[in-house]
């Protein structure tokens, strides 16, 4: 499940920006007032609510209320999250999550932060550029302290995914048209042509998508080459204050 703005919906995983089950890293364990917990590396982005006034500062705040007009969402590295700040979580009714088809966000106060060494790193990229982990909304991105810039930079991955989906749909349509055709020789030739065309469409779509997604499709480990390329460029092109140090 991923978050699009302050609403939640299921979103496909396009690839893994980082995937290494054996690497050991320092992890931040962040807990909110409802008991929701998230574990993230120091450079991973979480969404913090800024601009709350004294009347709005509670343990739990429904974002569908007046807070939507007074707060702004600020991406922040996990290492910079502080006690008393607010994170976006799935809305709850008592101890139960509400129907996810009409899910909305709640702001929950950070009440506990700890660190420990842990093994394994997994960073999936969704279509929306964010995701929900243990009911807490997090970014898919790290290292760059700008959700907008990071999401824009991965636009080619989303285009490749969309193009592949379009190719798959067209392939299924042509195959369905072929199977519905008459068994006469003329229609048989047409069906063979349609099968060839659909296979060509699917092959073309996959050939465009695979260079970007090959780490995920082949089970590669470590930081994806596309992410490494972007981060290397950003270190020379954007202000250092936007980069994790």
Chain segment 173-203, per-residue pLDDT in tens = 677 666 655 544 443 444 444 444 443 434 4
> Which pLDDT score is estimated for 54?
59
3-class secondary structure, 104: strand
Q: Which residue has the higher pLDDT, 178 or 36?
A: 36
* pLDDT, mean of residues 8-35: 91
| Beta strand residue intervals within 44-157, DSSP E | 44-50, 60-62, 72-77, 86-90, 92-93, 96-97, 105-126, 130-133, 136-142
* pLDDT, mean of residues 87-105: 63
> Which pLDDT score is estimated for 176?
67
How far lies 244's CA from each of 53, 113, 235, in Å? 29, 19, 10
109-148, pLDDT tens digit by residue? 999 999 999 999 999 999 999 999 998 999 999 999 999 9
* pLDDT, mean of residues 27-40: 95
Residue 5: pLDDT band with limits 50, 70, 90: low
* pLDDT, mean of residues 27-49: 94
The answer to pTM > 0.75 is: no
* pLDDT, mean of residues 149-177: 80
> Which pLDDT score is estimated for 245?
74
| Mean pLDDT rounded to a whole number for the chain | 76
Least confident range of 78-92, 93-107, 156-170, 196-210: 196-210
Q: What share of the chain is helix, strand, coil (3-state, %, to 5)?
A: 40, 40, 25
Place of tokens 């969309």: 162
Least confident range of 61-65, 79-83, 123-127: 61-65
Helix 155-179, helix 185-217: angle, nearest 10 = 150
Q: For a pLDDT cut of 70, what percent of the chain falls above it?
A: 63
Least confident range of 69-78, 90-99, 112-121, 122-131: 90-99
Longest dimension (CA), the chain: 79
Please report, in angstroms and rounded to a whole number, the separation of the first and last CA atoms in the chain: 30
């Amino acid at each position: 499940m991923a978050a699009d703005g302050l609403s939640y919906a299921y979103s496909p995983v396009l690839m893994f920006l980082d995937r290494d089950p054996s690497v050991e890293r320092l992890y931040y364990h962040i807990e909110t007032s409802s008991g929701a917990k998230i574990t993230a590396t120091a450079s991973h982005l979480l969404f913090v609510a800024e601009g709350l006034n004294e009347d709005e500062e509670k343990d739990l705040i429904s974002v569908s209320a007046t807070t939507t007009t007074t707060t702004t969402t600020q991406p922040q590295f996990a290492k910079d999250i502080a006690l008393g700040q607010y994170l976006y979580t799935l809305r709850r009714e008592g101890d139960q999550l509400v129907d996810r088809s009409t899910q909305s966000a709640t702001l929950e106060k950070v009440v506990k932060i700890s660190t420990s060494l842990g093994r394994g790193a997994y960073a999936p990229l969704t279509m929306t550029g964010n995701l929900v982990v243990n009911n807490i909304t997090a970014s898919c991105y790290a290292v760059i302290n700008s959700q907008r810039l990071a999401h824009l930079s991965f636009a080619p991955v989303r285009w490749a995914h969309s193009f592949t989906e379009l190719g798959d749909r067209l392939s299924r349509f042509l195959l369905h048209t072929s199977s519905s055709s008459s068994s006469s020789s003329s229609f048989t030739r047409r069906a063979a042509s349609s099968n060839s065309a659909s296979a060509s469409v699917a092959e073309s779509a996959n050939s465009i998508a695979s260079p970007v997604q090959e780490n995920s499709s082949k089970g590669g480990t470590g930081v994806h080459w596309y992410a490494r390329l972007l981060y290397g460029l950003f270190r020379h092109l954007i202000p250092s204050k936007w980069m994790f140090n």
